Structure 1
C-alpha cells in the first residue's frame, strides 16, 4: 500500500509540474500571496500507518516476526504559516488522523490469539520548516520537514487488561520526525499544495503485557510507528 501511495503521488506531482514548467510563461496568480507574514489554511488527506518492531532475540526467520497490515486512513487539520524569508517558512499543522493497523502474531492456533486490531485516533501536532524553490509561473516545488508529537485518543494505556484478555496496549503520547516533498499551485482564488510525507516515530509505543513471559510482547524490544501521508492543502 505504501508503494502505491508513493507511485501515485510522485506521478501526479511530476506530470503536473512538467505541464507548468515546459509551457509558455503565463499570467501569475496571487502574485503577492507569499509576501504575507502570516497565512492560514487547512488540509485534507490520506494516511497509511505501519509499526516497526525491534526484537530482543532475532531468530532470523520472517515466519516468527509479527506481521502488520496497514489500512488507509484519513487526515484533516489546520495550518498556520509564518514567513521567515523568500524561501523559508515555519509551519504549525495541528490535525486529526484516523487509522487502523492489524497485527498478526505467529505461533498461535486460535484466531483470537493471532489477530489484534489497533485502531488509533491521533491528535497530531508537527512543527515544520518548509524550504521552497524560486516560483516558476504558477508553481513552486518545496521540501518540508520537522518534528512533532501526537496524542492517541484511542489508546488503552491505562487498561489493566492485556493480550491475554485480547487487548493490545500502546502508549498515549508519541514523538516523531517528518520529511516530505510537494508543490505549491497558485490558482486564481487560493493556493493548492499536494504533498507526500514520511512520518517516523522516535519513541517506543509498546505497553508490555503483565506477564514478563508473554508470547505476544516478551520478545519485543521496541515498537514504533511509521507512516505515509498524502495531504492536500488549501490556503
Structure 2
C-alpha cells in the first residue's frame, strides 16, 4: 500500500496548494467562461493499480493433502484511456459519464502450508467500463477549482476466458470516490484526479468446467471470495 499512500499524499499536497490561493489576490482568469457551458467534453489518460481482495477458504486437496493459501502479492501498474462527457446541473454540481478502457494485470502467489511449495499467476485484465459520477466543486478562485466525485462503475473484463488457476467473472460493478482539481490554463483545462474503486460483490468464478483434476481445481477452492479494487490517477484534458 506504500505506493497508494505516496500518490494520495501528492494529490493532497496539490489540493492544499490550490487552497492556499484563497489567501492570494485575484489574478487574471484563464478561460473565464468555460464553466458557463452546459455540456463539456474532453479526453483523458492515466495509470492505475488493479487489485483483488481475496478471502482464503483453507481447503485441503483430498488427493495430496496440500492446503493452499493465496495473496495478491504486489502491485502491477497499468494504464487507461477514455473520453469525458459532463453535464452541468448546478453552479457547483455536474453529472459525468466517462467511458474508459483499462489495460492492466494482477499477480497472485499460492503457498502450500505443509510443504512450502509456491505457485504464481499473472492475471491480465482489459476492462471496458462506463462510470457515471456526480462531481461537486468548490467555487473557482483565480485558475483553480478543487472538487470531489463519487458514483458507480460498470466494468466488463474482456479477458476472463484466458485466466488459469483463478478466474473472475466478466462483469465487475464498483462504487467510486475521488478528488481532483481543475487547473485553468490559457488554452485548455487540465484536471488531475485521484480515485478509489471498490467492488460490490464476489467476482470469483467457482464454476470451472475447464478444470477436471482435483489438483487443478484446488486453487479455486482455496478462495472463498474475491472482490475487485482499483486506484487510479488520471489527467483530464478539456
Shorter-chain TM-score: what band? Answer: 0.7 to 0.9
Cα RMSD for the two superposed structures = 2.3
Q: Is contact 2:129-2:155 (8 Å) kept?
A: yes
In the other structure, the counterpart of 2:125 is 120
Secondary structure at 1:76 match in 2: strand
In the other structure, the counterpart of 1:92 is 97
Q: Which residue of 185, 188, 201 corresponds with 2:186?
A: 188
Q: Which residue of 62, 76, 80 corresponds with 1:75?
A: 80
Higher mean C-alpha displacement, 182-191 vs 206-215: 206-215
In the other structure, the counterpart of 1:11 is 13
Q: Is contact 2:69-2:222 (8 Å) kept?
A: no
Aligned length: 221
Task: Tell me the TM-score normalized by structure 2.
Answer: 0.84
Which aligned pairs between 1:1-235 and structure 2 lie closer than 5 A? 1-15=3-17, 17-18=18-19, 20-56=21-57, 64-107=69-112, 111=118, 114-156=119-161, 162-163=164-165, 168-208=166-206, 209=208, 210=211, 214-235=217-238
Q: Is contact 1:148-1:177 (8 Å) kept?
A: yes
Cα distance in 1 between the residues matched to 2:152 and 2:218: 34
Cα distance in 2 between the residues matched to 1:115 and 1:212: 18
Secondary structure at 1:183 match in 2: strand
Q: 5+ unaligned residues in a row in structure 2: which ranges?
A: 60-67
Q: Is contact 2:126-2:159 (8 Å) kept?
A: yes
Q: Is contact 2:104-2:124 (8 Å) kept?
A: yes
Cα distance in 1 between the residues matched to 2:101 and 2:35: 27
